[in-house]
Chain A
Amino acid sequence: MALTFGFYSDPGLTTPAPALLAVPQSKSSPVPADLCLWFGSPAVGRLCQSQASPGVQQIAVSVANATPGSNSPATDVRLSKTLSGLGSATPGASLNLAASVQSGVAHAIPVYVRITNSLTTTGRRSNLSLATQTLVESS
């Protein structure tokens, strides 16, 4: 059995987010691309916490960079729980969601993502991802 918690593409938690979110960005004067995912579970009576310190450590979404170097830097990504918070979010910083997240739509947490390209060379960069630490889901 897999985790029921994850990123969803709608606030009703009806559809899991696509495995890859591909965002077009201009190499000059890029218009920031804002996305919104929802972290949660449509299951009933489930609880999600960090495995390292359940209920204490915040569940965090971080910007993982698989291949640093000439690829997109993590600082091209800002995370926030509100759309208005994207402007002041620290580039590349992780986002704390909560120490515990219950399942159900009412407890789903929006994760706003703003991608602003800093590269001047064209091409697809797939080195970035959004990831949580190891989580434990229980009933």
Chain B
Amino acid sequence: MAFSSAFSNAFAGSGGAGGTTETGAVSVGLAVDVFDPAVFDASGGWVVSLSTVMVGAVDVSARLHGQIDIRAEEDIARIATVHVTPATVSELDGYDSAAITIDLTLTRGTQTGTVRRFTGVVEQVEFDPVSRIATLSCRDGYQERPRACGSAEEVAALFGGLAWPNDKLVPWNSDSPDPASYFAGLQDTFSGATFIDSLGLWRAVPWNIGTPMATLSAGDIFDGSLSVVRPSRADLPSAIRATLTHRLPRLHEAEVALSWTRPDRSLYVTKGIGVLDQATLMSALQGLSDWHIKSEVSLTHPEAPYSYPVIVGGQTVFYQISQQAAAVIIDAFTATAMRRWYQEVANRYIIDIPMGGRSTRDDSVSLAIASTFDSSGWESSRPTEQTIPIFSANAPAGLPLKTGYEGLQAPLPPVNSAVDHLADLTALDVHGAVNHTIARALRRAAAGKRKQRITFQRPLDPRWEIGAVLAVNAYGVSATGQVVGFSDTLDIDSGECVSEITLACPDGSGTTTGFTATVTLPSPSVTHALTAPAMTTHIGSDATDTPATPDPETMFGWLTNTLPTSTHYSASKAVYETQFRVATPIIPAAVRDPLTNDLSVTATITIAGSGITLGAF
């Protein structure tokens, strides 16, 4: 790091052994310029103004010409222009990038006051070889400070803890740091001004307007210099709306009970309908689209002795099933089908800041964050347990109790309900993003209201720094405001010395500019009460049981047919493809389609200021 002679020698250590150890004391000098306030009195009389300009270590005060201009505003570099006759060519060469300080001294009668008004570096030297005068354009290095930062923490520190960093909305790119851009992002959330003051110190001053440090009356202000400017329509809409949209998946899980029971066994004899075999059933269950069978399927097989009496035509006959066939024939089953799906939800946290303007133009701050989550992968994850029990009896001890959730990817929503999944975000992230958004809107609102300004000129008065609170009570104008800019002009040749000061006098609601916000993350109130259509047995090619026009939308369960050799057979009735049709319920659109929730934020917002009062005309 290169050190300028204008800066502290505090770092000059005495050296030490070993190369990695240094010793020394650090210090910084203080100078108190005691002045008589009468120096700044604007009453009649005369004032002598002098300036002491140090360029590097050279005092050029005696060789100044023309005007010295110093201009300062919030959030930009302070600039100064001086004209000087260099003593030598080497001195002229030495001006380039030299540190410069400008002290202004006023003498009124026997009283003298000196105020340092500028500390910076010479940005550009323009030399006129005819007049031998060099014009030095100087800046205070405002832009360089953020650019010199090497981390997000360093940039954030420039706001004195009063900005609202948020790595989701204003991320710091470690791979390709852009501190200037990051600084701008944080500045958008800072309800205050940053600048380098007259001493060269970085300042972050909140937009607070409390008790004025001085009250200026008509006698303190040049006649005709006072002006009142109201905010433009663009600066003052009717309201500024801050909206943070948080996109996240709402994870649903629903379960429905599936069951089927065989028809009366007599139909197997009288109509010759087919029996439901296990392979057909399991194929149907495992082939469900989007739905999965949770846990094990409870199967009921014919039981020994596999000979069942049935009444046919008033006679008892026996329906025989072999033991081997019974093992694959299904008399009944119960199962739980489950489905997971995600719903795209946009929670919009909204707050309106009334501005009182008549413009209806939409002036809003809209930001968005998103919970990053592989919702499709989550949705398609399946239970991994066997859908058919391995053991029908005497299962080995110690086997873990199955819950039906084995293999399912977390998170696990409550059964027949839903959960909003923040995924890679936390509740604090959302709160932080909401605060960041409100802070941006507040800065915009406060900045708009602060366009209500008064500007006046008075004899050179370098006492007031940006952020100072002054009151004006002159020419029927009464206002208390904060210095947002000044321009000092000192003419070496004529002796004219003027300060033009601009005060922001917003119509506010207090003495501070800030907010407090309370955010409550919504909790989904969702209850799924889905039911699957009943699954029964549908018999085709049957003179009595087959409808004339079967409705496929209601045909769920076991589809089979009457044998042609049966007396119940009808060649004219519909013949079904033998199969087991499983029905699952439809997911209602309300819990399936993208959803937007508008959520209000409870906040207290204040903008400092008491406005401008104008006397009766």
Contact = CB atoms under 8 A, between A and B. Distances in A.
Contact of A131 (B27, B157, B200): B27
B426 interface: no
Contacts of A100: none
A135 to B, nearest CB: 6
Given A10-B145, A11-B202, A15-B200, A20 B23 contact: no
A132 B25 contact: yes
B6 interface: yes
Contacts of A119: 32, 34
Contact of A138 (B20, B28, B201): B20
Given A4-B11, A12-B155, A24-B463, A128 B23 contact: no
B325 interface: no
Contacts of B155: 12
Contacts of A134: 23-25
Interface residues of B, number: 63
20 contacts: A2-B12, A2-B13, A11-B160, A12-B202, A13-B154, A14-B145, A15-B144, A18-B7, A22-B115, A24-B35, A24-B116, A77-B30, A105-B157, A115-B30, A115-B32, A124-B33, A125-B34, A126-B32, A129-B30, A136-B22
Question: Interface residue tally of chain A, by bracket?
Answer: 35 or more
Given A3-B26, A6-B8, A6-B11, A122 B36 contact: yes
Q: Which of B8, B153, B155 has the most CB of A within 10 A?
A: B8
A117 B22 contact: no
Contact of B201 (A4, A35, A108, A136): A35
A41 to B, nearest CB: 9
Given A24-B35, A35-B199, A136-B23, A17 B1 contact: no
Interface in A3-31: 3-7, 9-29, 31
A62 B550 CA distance: 99
A22 B28 contact: no
Complex A-B, nearest 5 residue pairs according to Cβ-Cβ distance, in ascending order? A11-B157, A10-B202, A14-B148, A131-B27, A3-B13
B30 A135 contact: no
B21 A136 contact: yes
Nearest to B160: A11
Contacts of B151: 105
B149 interface: yes
A50 to B, nearest CB: 10
Interface of A: 1-7, 9-29, 31, 35-37, 39, 42, 51, 64, 72, 76-77, 105-106, 108, 113, 115, 117, 119, 121-126, 128-139
B201 A9 contact: yes
Interface in B2-22: 3, 5-13, 15-16, 19-22
B22 A2 contact: yes
A95 B28 CA distance: 15
Given A124-B33, A138-B22, 4 more contacts: A18-B119, A20-B29, A22-B103, A23-B33
A28 B35 CA distance: 9
A97 B37 CA distance: 36
B112 interface: yes
Nearest to B105: A124
Contacts of A12: 145-146, 148-149, 154-155, 157-158, 202
Nearest to A7: B28
A119 B29 CA distance: 18
Contact of A16 (B8, B157, B203): B8
A16 B3 contact: yes
Contact of B37 (A10, A20, A27): A27
